[in-house]
């Protein structure tokens, strides 16, 4: 996949978002290519998911606290990504001028 800068991007962020919104991968890829903020949200999601997985290696009770923090962050990012996808699907239309 090519990003707007021309770089090939096969990032974990794209995969993380696509795994959360099954059936919408083409929309995610398009928005990922076009919107830097969306890309950052997806990349943040991937990092948070990796941190959650790694939190199993932390000593108790720190592991429980960190898992809860990472899960809350993941939930927030998934909500934000969902909102971004919904807003991107809105097709603006103009009204005819009043006469």
Query: Does pLDDT of 3 surpass 50?
Result: no
Work out the mean pLDDT of the chain and round it to a whole number.
83
Q: What is the DSSP letter of 50?
A: H
74 Cα distance to chain centroid: 9
Query: Does pLDDT of 4 surpass 50?
Result: no
Q: Mean per-residue pLDDT for 60-66?
A: 81
Burial tier of 48 (Cβ tally within 10 Å: 0-12, 13-18, 19+): buried
Summarised one tens digit per residue, pLDDT across range 16-26 is 999 999 999 99
Long-range contacts of 1-6 (CB under 8 A, 24+ apart): 1/29, 1/32, 1/33, 2/33, 3/33, 3/39, 4/33, 4/34
Nearest to 42 by CA among 70, 81, 7: 81
In the block, which residue shows the tokens 């707007």?
4
Put simply, whether the predicted model's pTM sits higher than 0.85 gets the answer: no
Q: For residues 94 and 76, what is the distance between their CA atoms, to the nearest angstrom?
A: 33
Summarised one tens digit per residue, pLDDT across range 33-52 is 999 999 999 999 999 999 99
Summarised one tens digit per residue, pLDDT across range 85-96 is 999 865 555 566
Query: Does pLDDT of 5 surpass 50?
Result: no
Q: Mean per-residue pLDDT for 45-71?
A: 88
């Amino acid at each position: 996949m090519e990003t707007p800068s021309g770089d090939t991007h096969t990032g974990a962020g794209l995969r993380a978002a696509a795994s959360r919104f099954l059936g919408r991968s083409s929309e995610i890829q398009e928005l990922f290519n076009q919107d830097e903020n969306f890309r950052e949200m997806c990349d943040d999601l991937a990092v948070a998911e990796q941190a959650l997985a790694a939190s199993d290696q932390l000593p108790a009770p720190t592991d429980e606290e960190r898992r809860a923090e990472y899960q809350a962050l993941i939930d927030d990012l998934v909500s934000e990504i969902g909102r971004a996808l919904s807003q991107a699907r809105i097709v603006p239309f103009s009204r005819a001028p009043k006469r």
